[in-house]
Amino acid sequence: MRFDLHRAWARLVFTEPVRLRVYRQIATMLANGLPLVRVLDDLYQRASLRGRRPSEPLAIVLFEWKRAVQSGRMLSDGMSDWAPRAERLLVQAGEQSGRLEASLAAAAEVVQTSRRIRSAVIGGAAYPILILCSIVGYIYLFGTRVVPEFARLGDPAQWHGAARGLHWMSLWVQQWMPLAVLALLAAFGLVAYALPRWSGSSRLWVERVPPFSIYRLISGSSFLLAFSALLAAGITVEKALYRQCESAGPWLRERLEGALLGVKSGLNCGEALRHAGYGFPSAEIVDDLCVYSEYRGFPEVLQRLAHEWMEDGVARISAQMKLANGLAIALLTTVIAWLAVGMFSIQEQVVSSTRLMH
């Protein structure tokens, strides 16, 4: 395929902010009456500097989208290598219902929602992680450099109190700390792997604690926004749930399949989610859906509920991150104080033993 290397780079840099901007541009131009092929061609011409730089990342993306539409396929088909399935699903629903502009706006909204929650998590977690790395660095430095130097001046077996504690810490650092760090990294990797995959009743026990509660918030907000957009595009509740199941991971698919089973048995959306027994997206949202799903304007109400829940979730995440910051600062202060007391004790006992020897 042409531009293989350039295409790989384009896939790497076609990130959420870029997709958000492109979705909004296409939606705005469609709202002004321009046909889709004209919109894509105009955006391609801009991105490629009127064809002079066709290997620009965004130009490659738009060229493939334009080529798909010109060949009689749908825009969502051209997006297959460039956007997550959930976003393509919304665009496909808009194309089938003749509401492509609204579906692109909904896709942009899903992207923006995920970005807001992710920014709150990353921004809040950065400082505690930095402090944790500082603590590990201090312990490693004292355990491998400082304490062993003092151990050469005296017999650590004779140390007591805080000095002996630092000596034990030094032995642990030299023998076990690399394994402990590897185990910690492995635990982080295991959690990241488990977030979209771990299903079953055992998962329900950890749904209320980070990072699993945060993942539920992100997935729940995206589900509600996408679900409301599909319903607004004229897709039935059953088909909307089925389409979202197709693009979901094991954890989310388990919850949606439970709701889909309830809808097939004649329950409304809210009752089906309650009957599934997972409390997804949340118990409060399920109660609201039970009330609103029987009335007109349900897609709009669903979208409003998604926004409100997302705002509350961002506020909860911010509060949790502030608590984590406070705990991290307290832990760093405690570790530094312990190291200072221990070093003072070591110096005092080394000096005392030196005097006794003379």
Q: How far is CA 74 from CA 68, 71, 91, 269, in A?
A: 7, 9, 9, 29
**DSSP string computed for 188-212:** HHHHHHHTTT--SGGGGGGTTSTTH
Q: Are 22 and 43 in contact (CB under 8 A)?
A: yes
What confidence score (pLDDT) does residue 223 get? Answer: 84
Q: Using one digit for the tens of pLDDT, what is the confidence trace for 14-52?
A: 998 999 999 999 999 999 989 999 999 999 999 998 888
Q: Which amino acid is at 272?
A: A
| Whether the Cβ atoms of residue 237 and residue 269 lie closer than 8 Å to each other | yes
Determine the Cα–Cα distance for residues 325 and 312; give it in Å rounded to an integer. Answer: 20
Domain boundaries, the chain: 4-83, 111-358
Residue 2, pLDDT score: 47
Q: What was the pLDDT predicted at 218? A: 80
pLDDT of residue 355: 64
- Residue 358's pLDDT is what? 52
CB count, 10 Å around CB of 358?
4
Alpha helical stretches, state H, the chain:
4-13, 16-31, 36-47, 57-70, 75-78, 85-97, 100-141, 147-151, 162-194, 212-232, 237-246, 250-264, 269-276, 283-292, 298-357
CA-to-CA separations, 200 to 210, 214, 215, 253, in angstroms, rounded: 18, 18, 16, 11
Crossing angle of helices 298-357 and 212-232, rounded to 10°:
160
Q: Which parts of the chain sit beneath pLDDT 70?
A: 1-3, 353-358
Give the pLDDT confidence score for residue 271 in this predicted structure.
92
